[in-house]
């Protein structure tokens, strides 16, 4: 029963990214104004935003249903993609002014570092995991690059992504980190400049994981259902192959952009993205040890690619790079409400939430619904499971406990609906998607997204047939199916631009529950405590920033330092003012930046983008 609700902790990005209820997001909404969610979730003081240039809207200026596919914009009515009229922001190579004015001066684009989107190819790769040999399949991985506002050749590269596993990176892309925002609190029904864009801090690279977002898998004969089904195995979907995919994408992107090839890289992952970050950083920092087959994962081709990269950017590296050599480039990590320490982290969350004064007692007081802690009956009562289930049954959002159930899903679905409209898609990525050959139906040779006709469970009854899916995820999926039945998204108009696709393919997949269930069959799953061991090893070297959002129950951040105490190599944890320090038994210590977000949900950029931006800026400086 320990894992009954454990998997809830990975689902922020997974479900926030608009899980489809059994079809390819092809239902027209039937939603009246009374169902619309509050569009003012932000709690940063004195937030202002210029809505004067919000571009196209879901409703094309009228008041009809923004989820209705019949109200989408004509894809031919597009801008020319020119970025010359984009307002610049103040900032030097590593910092920006505290003021966030909108200037009339254009952003200066450096040759070779323009706004860019496309795909990076992944070939088949042989590897060993837990002493078992396997091979990962082919894929095209989507990326979106946005250069820093000033001197991008001198700025670090942020690599941003959500988690799942099985989720696209749409939430962190659309909600208040990139140059444009879909956030309806700022953009209304359209697209707006983002006042708190991270382009002021550095270059931004958004990546969709294998078979999520715009990324797609490739097999020789995708019309063969067996070929598609075979792809959805632990050979392609486990913690370490996921990390290897991201390492390859990052290194190949850097190789294609020599102006920033040796620049610092800062990973920024949300939810399960914290587990992904942990594995990526651990492989990179300890590649010499991995190459000696001293770790659970071995991929010779990957290690060779890592070595070649560092030999090119550092003349002192002649073979496999040392931890010190890697840390010069990959020495920082940002974790947004992360799952980073496996099951022990969830155990710690359950224990902290049972204590007097926790949010559960606030909910009890406000709703009148009694909360009964496990107490001394912990031998047959999982504290974490009980806490999350209580919040759900009390009608509160497990990702934002002060708000009603499913608030965060409802709120961020709105941005997904916008991105499925071609004219707004083009505005979000700030380049011309019609020039991306691999998007077109005619060029998607071997492409597929789903093992069956669709990637999602079509109805609640089908959930019980998914034997490998933990019961906790089934509960969340039931709620999601019910919600999407009431508020379905339109399919958008991408097919009218790029061509019709077979049922097993799709231009954009927000979440894929086949991927999610497959991860939990792997020999190392996201809740294995080896993830926590890697995390603690990483923070000894990598400068680390972790958010502490008050409203997030599924990964209640106050328990993060407590989770570290549960590992055998930790002697104590000292909690400071917006930081905590882990003291190891070998005498070493590591301090983690741990800023508090009193009004934030699981997705900090949604609720407190100003504070988040300023905290990251200060941490970098």
| Per-residue pLDDT tens digits for 554-565 | 999 999 999 999
Q: Are residues 469 and 565 in the same domain?
A: yes
Q: Which of 24-38, 43-57, 184-198, 279-293 has the lowest mean pLDDT?
A: 24-38
Same domain, yes or no: 378 and 514: no
The answer to whether residues 112 and 58 belong to one domain is: yes
pLDDT in the model for residue 52? 38
Q: What is the mean pLDDT of residues 205-214?
A: 96
CA distance linking residue 256 with residue 102, whole number of Å: 32
Burial of residue 282, with CB atoms counted within 10 A of its CB: 0-12 exposed, 13-18 middle, 19 or more buried: buried
Q: Which residue has the tokens 């020999």?
A: 523
Q: How much is the pLDDT for 466?
A: 64
- What span, in angstroms and rounded, lies between the C-alpha atoms of 86 and 69? 29
- Point out the domain boundary residue: 380, 399, 418: 399
CA dihedral 451, 453, 456, 457 (to 10 degrees): -110
Residue found by looking up tokens 């047939």 in the block:
465
The 10s digit of each residue's pLDDT in 245-260 is 999 999 999 999 999 9
State whether 288 and 419 are in the same domain: yes
Domain assignment present for residue 291? The answer is yes
Q: Where are the alpha helices (DSSP H) in 30-75?
A: none
Which of these three, 383, 399, 415, is where a domain ends?
399
Percent of residues, the chain, with pLDDT higher than 90: 67
Amino acid 5: pLDDT: 43
Q: What pLDDT score does 64 carry?
A: 33
Residue with tokens 């970050």: 277
Same domain, 389 and 414: no
Confidence at residue 413, expressed as pLDDT on a 0 to 100 scale: 87
| Contacting residues for 282 by C-beta, under 8 A, at least 6 apart | 534, 537, 538
* pLDDT digits 0-9 by tens, 371-417: 999 987 767 888 988 998 899 899 999 999 999 988 998 899 899 99
**pTM value?**
0.85
pLDDT over 50 at 20, yes or no: no
614 shares a domain with 509: yes
The answer on 360 and 411 residing in a single domain is: no
Would residue 510 count as lying in a domain?
Answer: yes
Residue 521: the pLDDT is 83
Q: Which is more confidently placed, 569 or 74?
A: 569
Predicted local distance difference test score (pLDDT) of residue 496: 96
Residue 89 — pLDDT band, cuts 50, 70, 90? very low
pLDDT band at 58 (very low <50, low <70, confident <90, very high): low
530 and 571 both lie in a single domain: yes
150 occurs within a structural domain: yes
Q: What is the pLDDT of residue 16?
A: 40
For residues 251 and 383, membership in a common domain is answered with no
Range of 445's domain? 6-34+49-315+406-620
In a domain, 337, yes or no: no
What CA–CA distance (Å, rounded) separates 168 from 16?
10
Do you find a cis peptide bond into 72, omega within 30 degrees of 0? no
Write down the pLDDT at residue 454. Answer: 45
Q: Of 355, 378, 399, which marks where a domain is finished?
A: 399
Give the per-residue pLDDT at 513.
75
- The reply to whether 582 and 597 lie within a common domain is yes
Residue 519 sits in the same domain as residue 389 = no
The stretch 338-361 carries a mean pLDDT of: 95
Q: What is the mean pLDDT of residues 582-601?
A: 98
Residue 510 pLDDT greater than 90, yes or no: no
Q: Are 178 and 150 in contact (CB under 8 A)?
A: no
DSSP string, 297-347: EE-HHHHHHHHHHHHHH-TT--SSPPHHHHHTTS-EEEEES---SHHHHHH
The residue with greater pLDDT, 110 or 467, is 110
Instruction: Give me the number of domains the chain comprises.
Output: 2
> Which pLDDT tens digit goes with each residue over 439-475?
999 999 999 998 764 444 556 666 666 666 665 666 6
Structure-model confidence comparison of residues 524 and 548, the more confident one: 548
Q: Is residue 324 part of a domain?
A: no
Work out the burial of residue 528: count CB atoms within 10 Å of its CB; fewer than 13 is exposed, 13-18 middle, 19 or more buried.
middle
Work out the average pLDDT over 409-438: 94
Is pLDDT above 60 for 234? Answer: yes
Lowest mean pLDDT among 9-23, 159-173, 190-204, 227-241: 9-23
Are 393 and 416 part of one and the same domain? Answer: no
Separation of alpha carbons 140 and 443, rounded Å:
12
Contacts of residue 349, defined as CB under 8 A and 6 or more positions apart, other chains included, come to: 9, 384, 387, 555, 556, 559, 563
Phi-psi region of 48 (alpha: psi -120 to 50; beta: other; left: phi over 0): beta
Q: What digits encode the pLDDT tens for the residues 111-138?
A: 889 999 999 999 999 999 999 999 999 9
| Strand pairing category for 180-181 and 192-193 | antiparallel
Q: What is the CATH number of the domain that holds 255?
A: 3.40.50.1820
Residue 59: pLDDT band (50, 70, 90) is very low
Summarised one tens digit per residue, pLDDT across range 357-374 is 999 999 999 999 999 999
**pLDDT for the residue 486:** 72
Residue that wins the pLDDT comparison between 470 and 291: 291
Selection from 152, 209, 147 nearest residue 178 by Cα: 147
Q: Which two tokens stand for residue 29?
A: 């909404």
Sign of CA dihedral 18, 207, 226, 500: positive
């Amino acid at each position: 029963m320990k894992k009954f609700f454990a998997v809830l902790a990975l689902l922020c990005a997974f479900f926030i990214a608009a899980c489809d209820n059994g079809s390819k997001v092809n239902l027209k909404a039937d939603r009246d104004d009374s169902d619309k969610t509050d569009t003012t979730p932000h709690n940063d003081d004195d937030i202002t935003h210029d809505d004067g240039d919000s571009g196209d809207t879901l409703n094309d200026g009228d008041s009809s249903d923004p989820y209705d596919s019949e109200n989408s914009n004509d894809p031919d009515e597009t801008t020319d993609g020119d970025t010359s009229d984009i307002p610049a922001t103040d900032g030097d190579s590593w910092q920006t002014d505290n003021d966030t004015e909108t200037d009339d001066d254009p952003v200066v684009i450096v040759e070779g570092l323009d706004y860019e989107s496309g795909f990076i190819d992944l070939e088949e790769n042989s590897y060993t995991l837990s002493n078992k040999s396997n091979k990962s399949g082919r894929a095209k991985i989507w990326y979106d690059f946005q250069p820093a506002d000033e001197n991008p050749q001198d700025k670090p590269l942020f690599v941003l992504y959500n988690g799942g596993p099985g989720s696209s990176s749409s939430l962190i892309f659309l909600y208040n980190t990139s140059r444009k925002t879909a956030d309806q609190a700022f953009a209304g029904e359209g697209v707006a400049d983002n006042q708190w864009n991270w382009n002021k801090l550095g270059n931004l690279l958004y990546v969709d994981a294998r078979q999520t977002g715009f990324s797609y898998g490739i097999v020789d004969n995708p019309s063969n259902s067996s070929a598609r089904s075979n792809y959805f195995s632990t050979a392609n979907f486990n913690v370490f192959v996921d990390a290897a995919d991201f390492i390859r994408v990052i290194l190949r992107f850097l190789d294609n952009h020599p102006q920033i090839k040796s620049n610092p890289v800062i990973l920024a992952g949300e939810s399960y993205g914290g587990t992904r970050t942990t594995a990526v950083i651990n492989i990179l920092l300890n590649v010499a040890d991995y190459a000696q087959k001293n770790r659970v994962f071995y991929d010779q081709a990957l290690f060779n690619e890592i070595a070649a990269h560092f030999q090119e950017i550092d003349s002192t590296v002649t073979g496999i790079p040392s931890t010190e050599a890697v840390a010069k480039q990959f020495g920082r990590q940002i974790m947004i409400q992360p799952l980073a320490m496996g099951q022990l982290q969830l155990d710690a969350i359950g224990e902290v939430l049972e204590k007097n004064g926790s949010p559960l007692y606030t909910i009890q007081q406000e709703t009148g619904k009694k909360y009964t802690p496990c107490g001394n009956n912990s031998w047959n009562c999982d504290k974490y499971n009980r806490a999350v289930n209580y919040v759900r049954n009390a009608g509160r959002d497990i990702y934002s406990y002060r708000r009603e159930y499913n608030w965060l899903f409802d709120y961020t679905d709105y941005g997904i609906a916008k991105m499925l409209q071609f004219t707004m898609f083009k505005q979000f990525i700030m380049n011309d998607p019609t020039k991306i050959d691999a998007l077109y139906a005619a060029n998607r040779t071997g492409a597929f997204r789903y093992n069956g006709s669709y990637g999602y469970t079509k109805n609640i009854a089908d959930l019980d047939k998914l034997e490998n899916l933990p019961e906790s995820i089934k509960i969340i999926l039931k709620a999601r199916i019910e919600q999407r039945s009431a508020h379905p998204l339109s399919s958008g108009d991408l097919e009218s631009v790029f061509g019709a696709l077979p049922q097993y393919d799709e231009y954009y997949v927000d979440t894929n529950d086949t991927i999610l269930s497959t991860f939990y069959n792997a020999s190392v799953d996201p809740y294995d405590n080896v993830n926590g061991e890697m995390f603690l090893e990483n923070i000894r070297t990598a400068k680390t920033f972790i958010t502490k959002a008050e409203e997030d129950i599924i990964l209640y951040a106050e328990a993060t330092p407590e989770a570290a105490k549960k590992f055998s190599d930790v002697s104590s944890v000292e909690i400071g003012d917006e930081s905590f320090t882990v003291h190891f038994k070998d005498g070493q210590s590591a301090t983690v930046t741990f800023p508090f977000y009193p009004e934030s949900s699981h997705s900090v950029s949604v609720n407190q983008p100003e504070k988040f931006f300023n905290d990251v800026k200060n941490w970098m400086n």
